[in-house]
Chains A and B, each alone.
Chain A
Amino acid sequence: MLRLVSRRARAQWQLLAALLGVITIGATLLGTCTLLVTRTAERALEVAVARAAPSAVDVTVYTGAVEGRDTRSVAADTRTVVTSALAPFPVTTTARASTVLRALPPALAPGTTVPPQAYLSGLDDLPARAELITGHWPQHPGDAVLLESTAGLLHLTPGSRVRLGAELAHPPVPAIDVTVVGVVRPLPGRGWDRDPLAAAGSATGYRDGRFLQPVNAYGPFLVDLADLVTTGATVDRMEITAHPDLSHPHRRDLETMAGAVRSADRRLAGTLGDRVTLARVSSDLALTLGNADDQRRATAAVVLAIAVLGGVLAATALVLAGRLTAGIRADETALRSALGASRGQLAATATLEAGLVAAVATALAIPASSALHAGLTHLSPLDDAGLTVRPAITGAQVLAVAGGALVLTAVLTVLAIRPVPAPGDRRTRRELLARSGADLMLAVFAVAGWWQLHAQPTVASARADAVRMLAPALLLTAGAALALRVVLPALRGADRLAYRARGLALPLAVSESARRPQAVAAGLLVGLACAAGTFGLAFDATWHQSQRDQAALSVGTDLALTLGTTPVPGDGAVVSAATAGAVSPVLNRGTAVGQWLGTAGDAPRLVAVDTTRAGALLRGPVDGDRGWADVGATLAPRTRVTGLAVAAGAPLVLSGTTAAGASLAVTPRLLLQDATGLRTSCTGPAVPLDGREFRLPACATADGLRLVAVALPVTTDVGDEPVAITGPVAIAVTLTVPPAGSPERSTDGSDWTATSAPPVPSRMRDLTVQVSPTPTGTALRMAATVDLDSADDAARTLVATAFADPGPVPVAVSARFASEVGVASGSTLSVTVGTTPVPIVVAEVVPTVPSAPGAVAVLADLDTLSRARAVTGDLTFPVDAWWVGHPAGPDAAERATALHLGTVTNREAETARLTGGPLRAGLPAALRLIVPAAALLLLAGVVLHVTCDLQARAVEVARLRGLGMSRRGIRAVLLGQHVGVLLPLLTPVAGAALAQRPRPWPDRRRTAAAHRRRHRCRRAARRGRAGAAPRRRRQGRPGRGPPLRPGLERPRRRRLGTRRRPGRRAGPNRPPRR
């Protein structure tokens, strides 16, 4: 048997080489994909984790209310717990702690009746978090540095000594003396948002929930953490952040660490016991690893889908090759059967041959797949993602290659022992039914796969991966099979039509196409290979476009600067100057819709931006022909806010009176707006309404500010002994704004509105506001009658705004918001900003809101949102980022980063991260494989088919020559019959080419213009040829066939052809010879 196989192999080595080539290509593809989903995926996970931002892998432990005597032990124990949770990775820890408020000498903060308080903060990496302005860093116990703003407010300079007295709302403790040794400026993005005052340096009317009365808080006094724990001060909050060194991670260690971090809360509580009132472990590490694993699985699903597709393609090529081989060996098989070989012996021979082919293919495919994989990793994007590896062989790869080769060669075995139908055999009804049933089942499975793809959740899951893995191959195979069902009847129809032609070449070519054996297998291979190639190209193009769209939606704009600290007036101008783009402050945070807070980790998002420039600012696709400018136009306010100009550093003066001399006071809060639309609020001290003028703190810290709103909470607790006042009292308050140097655009007060803030607006009535020029500036006169029957001070706030109440804020909601909340255009509801509910009305439903892709999100105009909040007395203006549209130059991101205002992201970087990130890079790499693999398998299959066909039809060619058909005619027949099969199936290639077409389609006007030009050219050509037409008709009269006599007539004698002489060739004016 072995001798037969070896001798046959020697005789049919070309055929076996082709089979071996097909199997090797398929097995190599499987091996490479296996390496991508194992070796590369593991490496990608490690690289992704190693490159993760510190915030994504850091573990922070928050502890609260630690008595002074326990501070040291709590800090040490916390470090131990968190370090052990992150084992076996090396860990570095940083810690910060803030004490409870302690009494500050009143002399440091004069002019207020509210007691000043201050707190200490200890940081063990202070120089990394702040920039030293003057003095030096703490070196000795008792040394402290202050923030620039705190030092300015308290008039403290290096060398000043301060005694921090009793702790607020705590038992008496010894005072702490500190020496100011320096002044610092906080660096953005270094955790200052977790400072009790968010690094603002001070807060008037501060309440932190432990005590009822508001205080004026200052601080922090920044000391070394080691010094702080020795002071015995009660620590209000302490955080210890552990950063694991993941530069050389291993998957198993990462999983161990994630599990330990998840259970660290329990161990921490057990360790710290009742030494703390609060202990919480916070970390995104598990989420980061989970996301990375999800992404790895999603990429693996696509890579495996490519592998399955390649396997199906290789199997199809093998089915064709196997049938051709069986056909070529049909005589030999028949002879062996005639000689007495049983079916089992035939199967044994086929299996032996297939096994040998599989072994050789495996031996070739293993190094080939290793080399191909290593080569791929040296190309972008795997190379860019740092996933370059050297060729290596893994167990999974060997298994995949060997298994794939065996499965593929099993196809050959089955076909070898299958009875070969005789050339004239027609399909039986049973065979036709079986094939129709198979096609139907394929179609049903394809529809089920399509439905599953639609129905599956967007997040990765094992079930979804199986669907993603199998559905493409199923859909493409079903599509190719069904396309064949159309192509073959079409060819048969063409066959009938072609038979009407006079010549032989066309009908013979079409007949061969329509009736030839193996046409279905060849057509399926061609169709499937073209479909797979098209799928690969189109998937790649679509995936890259989707990543670009995803990046655009994820960032929301061209460049986003997410703030690490509270912005100050003038920041927008600085950002605008640095980026030279359209700049807008942005609110981008979670919110509550009515009482609904969303699901865990998927809270509704509120994005508010200057929608008057939505077209320049917002990015991401909008449905239909609309753009973000159109959406923004429906959200933007009709008028802009004018307000009153306030010069930088101008002293604003407030005075007020009450009827009947009632002792009342107001604590003015001002809302100022800069040129970029940023609004900042400024709160002054309580001002008694006794007719005296009080200068407010310098609220205008930059040029170009305008006062747009004033809130005046009216209180009765003036002085040390509050006087009980009842009944309605009329008050009049005047805020004088010094001239800003430029003429006022509006000083008649017509655009100012006075309202009484909720929750009980009825406690103020007769509200008026007037703007009038005075010698010292512009006076904003506000008056009201206050109902003082209730002691609730929060319910009596006079609000004067430079705009009217906007009513419900028009918003655009995401499609998911509309679906989950059940709203449509015109629906009204409310969202919460901070603690203020804001009524909104749905004006638009958009696919998704910029910067919140796929989220339940709301897009609003920041100005309108601020107006709606201001009229309720909430003058805060939360801003989370600056968005920049159309920044100038490729280095705009670097220039924005150099401002040190926060974290900068831009679309280009995000696109690069999404397409070239280590966890995603395997996907485009795998897509690169399928196109050449499909091309190679198609080429191998077609060459095999055509070669076998020509070999089988060599005799037929001789017969055609014997009939008098010229070689040219025979070539035309052969070419025509193959094109007849290939052409309909090759049309997807054109689709693939179009999918890659970078330019947009010409618009209708250009198309029409081109059509008109072509039409003119044709008319001109017709005019130019008009004179030549008769001659052409004379010369071009088609030759007629030889006239035949009735019966067995002899054709008309014609002169036989002679050797062609030079000059007899058909020229442009000579019709071709027939």
Chain B
Amino acid sequence: MSGEPLLRVRDVHRSFRTGPTVVHALRGVSFDVAAGSMVALVGRSGSGKTTLLNVIGGLDRPDAGTVHVDGADISALDEDGLSRLRREKVSYVFQSFGLIPVLSAAENVAAPLRLARAAPAERERRVELLLDLVGLADHARQRPTELSGGQQQRVAIARALAASPRLLLADEPTGQLDAETGLSVMALLRGIAESEGVTVLVSTHDAVMMALADRVIRIHDGHLDEQATGQPYAPVPDAR
């Protein structure tokens, strides 16, 4: 955790107006995340976790403050720049998996590679590798609706890793999974973060998940309440 942090968030504000009501989702959030670490973002529903991840991933823009990813100020990027950022440096894993229903598992994993215009042979090889990594090599031709929740989330993780991102943002990736499956997904994320050097920022309110993180950031009503280092990582049984 030394040197330049991969992610630097400084005094980020974001509010939404719903009719006459103004909701302050983020109120001066600041923190850093070192490269290669796994950070858990913890908070209750409506605390601003998803908004913070969207701002970091460039899906949303802050009202104030700056976000630097891998040294680049994403507030200065235009739409194309943000798209390129998400294509090349930042990946998402959604709570609802976020797979494209008309595409098969392999095609979903190939989607970021296609956006990166990878050569077909290289693309096929990498898709095969990733699906094997997440244990779904035998389900490559199945569509998302033909897979279980855990399988879908693993496809989503494979897809998120396809373009070799620097930062992986996971928004409650185990929210729709049972505890056992959720644990296996988190273990997978943890393993990938260690083996590939990918920085992972994962929002969750599951205590078990927090245990796997290098660090836990708590957010409450748009404020960071506390920053803490999590428990040392302990390998968990493979739950694939």
Q: Which residues of A contact B (CB under 8 A)?
A: 422-424, 499-504, 507-508, 511-512, 515-516, 955-956, 958-967, 969, 1039-1042, 1044, 1047-1051, 1054, 1056-1060, 1074
A1059 and B164 within 8 A (CB): no
With a cutoff of 8 Å between Cβ atoms, the chain B residues found around residue A511 in the complex are 102-103, 107
With a cutoff of 8 Å between Cβ atoms, the chain A residues found around residue B80 in the complex are 966, 1057, 1060
B145 and A512 within 8 A (CB): no
Out of A502, A955, A963, name the residue touching B119 (CB < 8 Å).
A502
- A500 and B79 CA atoms in complex are apart in Å by 28
Nearest A-chain residue to B81, judged by Cβ = A1057
Nearest A-chain residue to B114, judged by Cβ = A504
A964 and B115 within 8 A (CB): yes
- A1060 and B196 CA atoms in complex are apart in Å by 34
A1044 and B81 within 8 A (CB): no
B76 and A964 within 8 A (CB): no
Which residues of B73-98 are within 8 A (CB) of A? Answer: 76-81, 83-89, 92, 94, 96, 98
B76 and A959 within 8 A (CB): no
With a cutoff of 8 Å between Cβ atoms, the chain A residues found around residue B92 in the complex are 959, 962-963
Given the known inter-chain contacts A964-B87, A967-B79, A1048-B164, please indicate yes or no for A423 contacting B114, CB distance below 8 A.
Answer: no
A1057 and B77 within 8 A (CB): yes
A507 and B114 within 8 A (CB): yes
A1058 and B81 within 8 A (CB): yes
A502 and B100 within 8 A (CB): no
Given the known inter-chain contacts A423-B101, A963-B112, please indicate yes or no for A1056 contacting B84, CB distance below 8 A.
Answer: yes
Given the known inter-chain contacts A516-B102, A1040-B117, please indicate yes or no for A1058 contacting B77, CB distance below 8 A.
Answer: yes
Given the known inter-chain contacts A1048-B164, A1057-B78, please indicate yes or no for A962 contacting B114, CB distance below 8 A.
Answer: no
B111 and A963 within 8 A (CB): yes
Nearest B-chain residue to A495, judged by Cβ = B102
A964 and B84 within 8 A (CB): yes
A961 and B59 within 8 A (CB): yes
Which residues of B116-155 are within 8 A (CB) of A? Answer: 116-120, 122, 126, 129, 143-146
Per-position 1/0 for B152-192, Cβ under 8 A of A = 00000001010110100000000000000000000000000
> Chain A at the B interface: mostly helix, strand, loop or mixed?
loop
B96 and A1051 within 8 A (CB): no
Is B57 an interface residue when CB atoms closer than 8 A count as contact? Answer: yes
- Measured CB to CB, the closest approach of chain B to A855, in angstroms, equals 62
Per-position 1/0 for B102-113, Cβ under 8 A of A = 110001000111
B85 and A1056 within 8 A (CB): yes
Which 5 residue pairs spanning A and B have beta carbons closest together?
A424-B145, A964-B87, A1057-B81, A1041-B117, A964-B86
- Measured CB to CB, the closest approach of chain A to B116, in angstroms, equals 5
- A1039 and B117 CA atoms in complex are apart in Å by 9
6 A-B pairs with CB atoms under 8 Å apart are A424-B144, A424-B145, A507-B107, A959-B92, A1051-B116, A1056-B81
- Measured CB to CB, the closest approach of chain A to B222, in angstroms, equals 22
With a cutoff of 8 Å between Cβ atoms, the chain A residues found around residue B107 in the complex are 499, 507, 511
- A1039 and B113 CA atoms in complex are apart in Å by 14
With a cutoff of 8 Å between Cβ atoms, the chain B residues found around residue A1074 in the complex are 117
With a cutoff of 8 Å between Cβ atoms, the chain B residues found around residue A499 in the complex are 107
Out of A500, A955, A1056, name the residue touching B96 (CB < 8 Å).
A955
Nearest A-chain residue to B84, judged by Cβ = A1057
A965 and B145 within 8 A (CB): no
Nearest B-chain residue to A1038, judged by Cβ = B117
- A1057 and B83 CA atoms in complex are apart in Å by 9
With a cutoff of 8 Å between Cβ atoms, the chain B residues found around residue A1040 in the complex are 117
Is B72 an interface residue when CB atoms closer than 8 A count as contact? Answer: yes
Given the known inter-chain contacts A424-B146, A955-B96, A1044-B118, please indicate yes or no for A962 contacting B86, CB distance below 8 A.
Answer: yes
- A316 and B94 CA atoms in complex are apart in Å by 38
Max chain A CB contacts within 10 Å: which of B59, B100, B161? B100
A962 and B59 within 8 A (CB): yes
A1058 and B114 within 8 A (CB): no
Nearest A-chain residue to B144, judged by Cβ = A424
A1056 and B118 within 8 A (CB): no
Given the known inter-chain contacts A962-B59, A1047-B129, please indicate yes or no for A515 contacting B117, CB distance below 8 A.
Answer: no
Out of A500, A512, A963, A1049, name the residue touching B115 (CB < 8 Å).
A963
With a cutoff of 8 Å between Cβ atoms, the chain B residues found around residue A967 in the complex are 79
With a cutoff of 8 Å between Cβ atoms, the chain B residues found around residue A504 in the complex are 111, 114-115
With a cutoff of 8 Å between Cβ atoms, the chain B residues found around residue A502 in the complex are 114, 117-120
Nearest B-chain residue to A1046, judged by Cβ = B125
Out of B81, B89, B112, B146, name the residue touching A1059 (CB < 8 Å).
B81
With a cutoff of 8 Å between Cβ atoms, the chain B residues found around residue A516 in the complex are 102
Nearest B-chain residue to A967, judged by Cβ = B79
- A28 and B113 CA atoms in complex are apart in Å by 53
A1059 and B111 within 8 A (CB): no
- A1044 and B162 CA atoms in complex are apart in Å by 10
With a cutoff of 8 Å between Cβ atoms, the chain A residues found around residue B78 in the complex are 1057-1060
B145 and A423 within 8 A (CB): yes
With a cutoff of 8 Å between Cβ atoms, the chain A residues found around residue B166 in the complex are 1050
- Measured CB to CB, the closest approach of chain A to B155, in angstroms, equals 13
With a cutoff of 8 Å between Cβ atoms, the chain B residues found around residue A1047 in the complex are 129
A1041 and B87 within 8 A (CB): no
With a cutoff of 8 Å between Cβ atoms, the chain A residues found around residue B161 in the complex are 1048
- Measured CB to CB, the closest approach of chain B to A949, in angstroms, equals 12
A1041 and B116 within 8 A (CB): yes
- A1048 and B161 CA atoms in complex are apart in Å by 8
Given the known inter-chain contacts A504-B111, A507-B114, A1039-B117, please indicate yes or no for A512 contacting B102, CB distance below 8 A.
Answer: yes
Max chain B CB contacts within 10 Å: which of A423, A500, A516, A1044? A1044
B114 and A1050 within 8 A (CB): no
Out of B83, B96, B118, name the residue touching A1041 (CB < 8 Å).
B118
With a cutoff of 8 Å between Cβ atoms, the chain A residues found around residue B83 in the complex are 961, 964-966, 969
Given the known inter-chain contacts A1050-B164, A1059-B81, please indicate yes or no for A1042 contacting B94, CB distance below 8 A.
Answer: no
A1054 and B101 within 8 A (CB): no
A503 and B88 within 8 A (CB): no
A962 and B94 within 8 A (CB): yes
A959 and B98 within 8 A (CB): yes
Nearest B-chain residue to A960, judged by Cβ = B100
A1044 and B79 within 8 A (CB): no
With a cutoff of 8 Å between Cβ atoms, the chain A residues found around residue B85 in the complex are 964, 1056
Nearest A-chain residue to B129, judged by Cβ = A1047
- Measured CB to CB, the closest approach of chain B to A1049, in angstroms, equals 6
Out of A500, A965, A1042, A1059, name the residue touching B77 (CB < 8 Å).
A1059
- A965 and B117 CA atoms in complex are apart in Å by 12
- A662 and B5 CA atoms in complex are apart in Å by 147
- A1044 and B126 CA atoms in complex are apart in Å by 9
Max chain B CB contacts within 10 Å: which of A424, A960, A964, A1041? A964
